[in-house]
Amino acid sequence: MIRVKALRSIMAGATQKDFAKQHGLDASYLSQILNGHRNMGEKAAATLEEKIGLPSGTLVSPASESDIDQRVVTRSTAAEIVRQMLMKHGKNLTADAKARLLAAADETSIGTAASTITSGQVGDEIRIAHYDVRAAMGSGQIPAEYPEMLQDVKVSLRHLRDMGLRFEEPWHLKMLTGWGQSMEPTIRDRDPLIVDVTVREFIGDGIYLLTWHDMLYVKRLQVADADHYEMISDNAMHKDRTIRREEVHIQAKVLYVWNGHLL
């Protein structure tokens, strides 16, 4: 039961569907775990740690039950209350404004929960889950609803920070593979990419994992005007495009290419 409470605390108010999609989990399996219909033993807890990208021991040996209960209360007073407020009084806010408010509340909740759960347990080594999502850098790939897990990657947290990667929590990071030549020389064909899956909106010039017209791309985005982005290919042989903002769905921001390129 304490492991389930720890998992709920890490979810920080996210819906089961959204959390499962974000971390490549089977939604029905997650539901069974949370509802107590399936036991979360040590092996299952370790598997979830790997898929979510949590430090070892976060779910296998979580903090005390009273600490987790306190975090759930803290989470409710942040993310949940903001959600309730927006439902009642947020009709005049834009969708972007609502998203920013929710993201800020969720980020605070996640950070509070994670720092408590992993206190005294986190080593320098973290695991980054690697997903078989072919993020095309040319003509696009059809995104899979449930991406397949590949072998995760173990790296030094300090090394990532020293390389200049900026992220809030280790489990925000996932690894994908780029396909195609349109982003060369920055990203070569089949280069592994470290992305931050909590970035779901444009936060400035950079390279993003995005869907456009139901196809998945890794492209550089810049603001063209109030209604459009420039979707840019670093390879001069490939044409840049001007695309409407409302047609773009950002899935993550690319932070690092496993060939030495910090983005």
The count of C-alpha atoms lying within 13 angstroms of the C-alpha of 139, restricted to the half-sphere facing its C-beta, is: 0
Domain span at 133: 125-262
Quick: pLDDT tens for 122-170: 457 888 887 766 555 665 555 554 455 556 778 888 888 888 888 888 8
CATH of the domain at 176: 2.10.109.10
Identify the domain boundary among 78, 97, 117: 117
pLDDT by residue (tens digit) across 216-250?
899 999 999 999 999 999 999 999 999 999 999 99
One domain for residues 64 and 193: no
pTM over 0.75: no
Please give the pLDDT value at position 151.
Answer: 62
> Does 84 have pLDDT greater than 60?
no
- Give the helix ranges, DSSP H, for 76-94: 81-89
Contact 101, 9 (CB under 8 A): no
CA distance 132 to 161: 25
**Domain identity same for 65 and 191:** no
Domain identity same for 252 and 231: yes
- Of the residues 117, 136, 163, which one is the last residue of a structural domain? 117
Domain boundary among 68, 98, 117: 117
